[in-house]
Amino acid sequence: MSLLNQMLKDLEKRQATAGDPTGLPGTGAGAERTRRFGVLLWVLLALALVLGGLVLWLSVGYWADRDVPVAVEQVELRKVPISATAEMAPAAEPAGAVSEPPASPAAMEPEVATALAETPAREAVPAKETVSSLSESVEPPQLPVAAPPSPKTPAASEPAALVKTPRPLSPEEQARVRFAEGEAALKDGRLPEAEQAWRQALRLDPAQHESREKLAALLAGAGRRVEAEKVYAAGLESDPAHSPFRRGYARLLAEREELSTAREVLRQGPVPTVAADPDFHALYAALSQRLGDYAAAAATYSLLLQHDPASGVSWLGLGLALESDGRAPEAVEAYRQAIASGSLQTDLLSYVRGRLDMLER
């Protein structure tokens, strides 16, 4: 305001000296018009300065009184992809939003400045509502989101191949395979191949009892009895309780008339039950009969008949043991049972009838 007072004082001084020809250059009507135009120019300039100061004061008060909440900085605007933002046209500025600062009052026309001064200030709008309305008015377009590429799956008609790694066979499994190969070779009459397969099985697994029994029987059948005895003897060293080894070895010894040794082989180790190995007990009874141990032979044949009462051979063996032991009446009954069994071959049947005729006389 001091600047305005100074300008008015300057105008008064100029008006006071207007009649003095020495106060301003020029005289007459032209000089008077020039002075009036200068006065009007200064008045307009002073008025523009006053209006500018008023607008500046109102602007400072407007921003000073605004209560901008801190939550404005935390308002979460919707994220718009860069590509979509680049293609969108700039949205129109919503009502109530803060625009660019007004132009300088010095550049305004007097009428515009007067109208601006007389216009009442609009009520301030909270910035939070402005930002909220902005986020609601500017709706970003929904852009299609590309689906992630799915892994390529094999067609139903092309199943995935399973790669199986063969497990190496254990020695026991390999021995069983060799035993089966020997069986197939024996069935086809290829005896050398069968022998080789069973020997390989025993090298892989010495406890492969079936291969040992088959190999010893093959050697004995081929007349190679000494080799067969060695095969059985090796089996008895590894498993003395295996009765088929003792039975096979004792039979080979009996064929060589080594009866006592043969029966001792049968006695070494546990005695199997009649049901488990009837041939073992039949061989023991026959060896006892030939060695003159008739009581042991008769007892063993009686055990065999308990297991199989229809065995004609066992009835015949019992009759011979009883007859040799001096028990003729019991022997006659045993011979009659042997004939009644109907299981004897023709030559044995003739022999039993002859013994029966001798005892019944």
Please report, for the domain that includes residue 318, its CATH number.
1.25.40.10
pLDDT digits (tens, 9 = 90+) for 326-360: 999 999 999 999 999 999 999 999 999 999 999 98
pLDDT over 70 percentage in the chain:
58
Residue 218 half-sphere exposure toward CB, CA atoms < 13 A? 23
pLDDT of residue 190: 95
Q: How many CB atoms lie within 10 A of CB 202?
A: 20
Is 93 within the bounds of a domain? no
pLDDT-wise least confident of 142-146, 173-177, 185-189, 256-260: 142-146
Residue 311, Cβ density class (10 Å: 0-12 exposed, 13-18 middle, ≥19 buried): buried
Q: Which residue has better confidence, 45 or 97?
A: 45
Q: Does the pLDDT at position 103 exceed 50?
A: no
Q: Of 204, 221, 273, 277, which Cα lies nearest the Cα of 245? A: 277
* Mean of all residue pLDDT scores within the chain: 74
Alpha-carbon dihedral 80, 81, 82, 86, rounded to 10 degrees:
-70
Residue 289, Cβ density class (10 Å: 0-12 exposed, 13-18 middle, ≥19 buried): buried
Q: Does the pLDDT at position 276 exceed 70?
A: yes
Q: Does the pLDDT at position 77 exceed 90?
A: no
* Mean pLDDT score, 265-276: 91
* Mean pLDDT score, 289-293: 95
pLDDT of residue 106: 42
Is 305 within the bounds of a domain? yes
pLDDT of residue 107: 44
Is 277 within the bounds of a domain? yes
Q: Of 237, 201, 317, which Cα lies nearest the Cα of 249? A: 237
Round to whole Å and give the CA distance between 339 and 361: 18
Is 213 within the bounds of a domain? no
pLDDT of residue 238: 87
Whether 320 and 314 have beta carbons less than 8 Å apart is answered as no
pLDDT of residue 269: 84
* Token code pair at residue 80: 């718009």
Whether 235 and 245 have beta carbons less than 8 Å apart is answered as yes
Q: How many CB atoms lie within 10 A of CB 312?
A: 19
Q: Does the pLDDT at position 302 exceed 50?
A: yes
Q: Of 47, 32, 188, which Cα lies nearest the Cα of 106? A: 47
pLDDT of residue 273: 93
Is 192 within the bounds of a domain? no
How many domains is the chain partitioned into structurally?
1
Is 178 within the bounds of a domain? no
Q: Does the pLDDT at position 33 exceed 80?
A: no
Is 328 within the bounds of a domain? yes
Is 352 within the bounds of a domain? yes
pLDDT digits (tens, 9 = 90+) for 215-254: 999 999 999 999 999 999 999 998 988 999 999 999 999 9
Q: Which residue has better confidence, 8 or 170?
A: 170
What residues contact residue 172 under an 8 Å CB cut-off, 6+ apart? 204, 205, 208
* Mean pLDDT score, 72-101: 42
Q: Scanning the structure block, which residue is given the tokens 């040794």?
A: 261
Round to whole Å and give the CA distance between 24 and 31: 8
What's the pLDDT band for 294 if we cut at 50, 70, 90?
very high
Parent domain of 348? 272-361
Round to whole Å and give the CA distance between 32 and 17: 12
What's the pLDDT band for 126 if we cut at 50, 70, 90?
very low
